[in-house]
Amino acid sequence: MSTRRDILKGFGGIAALSLAGNAAFPAFAQEKIVWKSVANHRNGASWSHRWPWLIEELKTRTAGRVELDVTTVPELGFSGQELLRALRSNLIDYSDIVAGFVAGEFPAIEAPQLAGVFGDYEDCRKAVDAWSEKVLKQNEQLMGGRLFASFNYNSVLLFSKFPVDDLSAIKGKKIRTFSVSLSDYITALGGEPVSIATGDLYAALERGTIDGAIVGPDQVEGGRLYEVSKYLTNLHFGSSPGYNVISRRTWDRLPDDLKAVFDDLSAAYTQRGWEAGAENDSLGLEAAEKRGMIVQKEIKEEWREPLREIARGVAQNWATRAGEQAKKDFNEVLAPIAGFEI
């Protein structure tokens, strides 16, 4: 398993693939290629339904020639915000990318995840698929490399120590967010956004540092948040999609036959990634109810219009950050799914 020291040293032992130039293809064509790979974490179906499958498929389809040496963001002591730069620098070969974590560096990546804009799971999948083809694959330098697949961690909900009987309940509360658009959303509801790593949520809720946390239902059990929050509420935040990216230099050094293997795996891996998010939702909500949490799965009808207006404001703020071309792309590609232009 890779360590933080490995990455900070530039993965000096990144294996023959990373050390050889294009002229060396014939020499290492049959050698084992080991990729330094980073998953966001090892919790829930976003790990179990995806990574072990990919590791085994690569082993089988390449006759053992490609191996993923996998570590995780927490194990590296990272926040996840560093990963695009690490891919561009070829310090890592392959990685999960959480859109919300890197949106400050690449605002356009956040479009399908804009809080409140794509509240339904199916609409988020449509938005990610369309945005990937039109925008993300055309911006490899910003993405850190070649887009291999997309996935979804889960829908995004509010864990709180207080009941949310009305939208005004958020006013004055300190709420953990993990993206700029979620911060805009909470601010519009009168709350105070706070940035805290997922691994620190339990302590922050237990100590009262925050009143609530926006995160996925996989953290009911994965982070034991049922012990420190009583309520789980759907406020139409949407989902938490992510992407799998291969460093451009790593990809360019692959022999053509191995590139074909990855191309063949892309669609199936993407499908597994979205199945994993749905499984996280189902199992997480079931666990919350079993653990005695008060769960509100659907937003109240009277909340729909005010939350829709907040979502429009979130999208407008994003367009200011992302620029005119991103705004134009949104209106062309995503507006038909979102139901409005910006």
Q: Is the dihedral of CA 288, 47, 90, 3 positive or negative?
A: positive
Residue 43 has what pLDDT?
82
Provide CB contacts within 8 A for 110, sequence distance 6+: 99, 100, 103, 179, 180, 181, 318, 322
- Name the more confident of 163 and 18: 163
Q: How far is 202 from 337, CA to CA, in rounded Å?
A: 36
Do residues 192 and 325 touch, judged by C-beta distance below 8 A? Answer: no
pLDDT, tens only, 256-308? 999 999 999 999 999 999 999 999 999 999 999 999 999 999 999 999 999 99
96 near 28, Cβ under 8 Å? no
Q: What is the pLDDT of residues 19-31, one digit of tens each?
A: 333 333 343 446 8
Judge whether residue 13 has pLDDT over 70.
Answer: no
Q: What is the rounded average pLDDT for all residues in the chain?
A: 91
Rounded to an integer, the average pLDDT of 188-208 is 95
pLDDT in tens, 201-257: 999 999 999 999 999 999 999 899 999 999 999 999 999 999 999 999 999 999 999
Give residue-wise pLDDT tens across range 47-106.
999 999 999 999 999 999 999 999 999 899 888 899 999 999 999 999 999 988 898 889
Q: Which residue has the higher pLDDT, 213 or 180?
A: 213
SS3 content of the chain, % helix, strand, coil (to 5): 55, 20, 30
User: What domains sit in the chain, N to C, each tagged with a CATH number?
Assistant: 4-154+240-284 (3.40.190.170), 157-238+290-338 (3.40.190.170)
Q: pTM score, two decimals? A: 0.86
In terms of pLDDT, which residue wins out, 7 or 177?
177
The helix (run of H) or strand (run of E) holding residue 44 is helix 44-48
The pLDDT value given to residue 1: 63
